[in-house]
Amino acid sequence: MRKGVVYRSTGSWYVVKDSNGEFFSCRIKGKFRSKGIKSTNPIAVGDRVDFKLIEKNDKASGLINEIHERNNYIIRKSVNLSKQTHIIAANIDQVFLLITLINPKTLLSFVDRFLVSAMAYHIKVIIIFSKIDIYFKDDIINLKKVFNIYKTAGYECYKISSFNSQDVIYIKNLMKNKVNMVAGNSGVGKSTLLNAIDSNLKIKTSPISPHYNKGQHTTTFAQMYDIDNNIKVIDTPGIKGFGIVDLETHEIRKYFLEFERFSGKCKFYDCLHNEEPGCRIKDEVENKKISLSRYNNYISLIVENSKIRN
């Protein structure tokens, strides 16, 4: 029996790197699909697995028969099967969430959903405002506003151009000795950034669609890469929507960092910060100490989650 880490997931085949640094194409035993795992993919990139080698026609492949317990994972609702979920990656130290405010525009509702889900599974998120070299004057004004919203809320934020070597070196230093995941909508510059960090990767990139002003999918499956300085990076397909999973409605308030500063100061201890009187959070929104867009996205999340769970 060999131990390894999943480096690529295509849905039916998995590329596993064993402890000796060798790569093997592996399938999974059918029993994994009947263990009550609700996700569309029982195994994800980053999973630690045990597998058995099978020799066939002088070619070795593997059969995965055990998944080790995960430290954490990023999970979202499946696009096509709303009642199922999809695990994007597992055993992650930190996520770099790339967002762009133009060409294409990342919706802040998407950002807030991603942040809530990552925090719920104890994963640090670093927000990267990407492709700032293409911003015009009005875009820069908006960038400062949105940047301050998340910086003030308590998130680690950076502004970068993937073509600026100083920016690239800085991000690479943040990745040292960690398992990193790079996420975001299609077209925000994930693959371009990774190619700049390591020119040997040669990950395919595509221009923004001129008809819809949206990115085109170039990464179709999650894949992990080894880079120097003990850096592991998981490149992920562009994420269009992000539905949160397995959270009680009252839990969501804990995952808005700026709310925690005023925790316990509402009139009611179980205040959902919605329609309750004497809500300190609503007061701070009124006083512009808490972002209105963040608060509105929070309300949308708790309303949506309540409907789902009921």
CATH number at residue 28: 2.40.50.140
One domain, residues 149 and 210:
yes
One domain, residues 209 and 253:
no
Confidence of residue 212 (pLDDT cuts 50, 70, 90): very low
Q: Is residue 225 part of a domain?
A: yes
- Is the confidence at residue 169, as pLDDT, over 90? yes
Whole domain around residue 262: which residue ranges? Answer: 249-309
One domain, residues 88 and 55:
no
Q: Is residue 244 part of a domain?
A: no
One domain, residues 227 and 106:
yes
One domain, residues 274 and 204:
no
Residue type, 207: P
What mean pLDDT comes out for the span 227-252? 86
Are 25 and 62 within 8 A, CB to CB?
yes
What mean pLDDT comes out for the span 254-262? 93
Taking alpha carbons only, the member of 288, 249, 279, 215 closest to residue 120 is 249
For the purposes of burial, counting CB atoms within 10 Å of the CB of 200, is it exposed (0-12), middle (13-18) or buried (19 or more)?
exposed
For all residues of the chain together, what is the average pLDDT? 87
- Is the confidence at residue 256, as pLDDT, over 80? yes
Q: Domain count of the chain?
A: 3
Q: Which residues contact 234 (CB under 8 A, 6 or more apart)?
A: 45, 46, 89, 92, 179, 180, 181, 182, 222, 223, 224, 225
One domain, residues 40 and 176:
no
Q: What pLDDT, on a 0 to 100 scale, did the predictor assign at position 75?
A: 86
What mean pLDDT comes out for the span 256-260? 93
Q: What pLDDT, on a 0 to 100 scale, did the predictor assign at position 287?
A: 95
Taking alpha carbons only, the member of 293, 244, 291 closest to residue 76 is 244
Q: What pLDDT, on a 0 to 100 scale, did the predictor assign at position 241?
A: 67
Q: Is residue 243 part of a domain?
A: no
One domain, residues 28 and 120:
no
One domain, residues 165 and 210:
yes
- Is the confidence at residue 166, as pLDDT, over 90? yes
Q: What pLDDT, on a 0 to 100 scale, did the predictor assign at position 130?
A: 95
Mean pLDDT lowest among 152-161, 201-210, 214-223: 214-223
Domain termination site, one of 182, 202, 235:
235
Q: What CATH number is given to the structural domain containing 176? A: 3.40.50.300
One domain, residues 42 and 157:
no
Mean pLDDT lowest among 236-240, 253-257, 300-304: 236-240
Q: What pLDDT, on a 0 to 100 scale, did the predictor assign at position 213?
A: 46
What mean pLDDT comes out for the span 188-213? 76
* Greater pLDDT, 146 or 208: 146
One domain, residues 186 and 155:
yes
One domain, residues 105 and 9:
no
Q: What pLDDT, on a 0 to 100 scale, did the predictor assign at position 204?
A: 77
Q: Is residue 240 part of a domain?
A: no
Q: What pLDDT, on a 0 to 100 scale, did the predictor assign at position 217?
A: 42
One domain, residues 136 and 208:
yes
Q: For helices 190-197 and 165-175, what crossing angle results, to 10°?
A: 90
Q: Is residue 172 part of a domain?
A: yes
Q: What pLDDT, on a 0 to 100 scale, did the predictor assign at position 11?
A: 73
% the chain with pLDDT above 90: 67
Q: Spell 137-169 as b/e; 16+ CB within 10 A means b.
A: eeeeeebeebbebbeebebebbbbbbeeeebbe
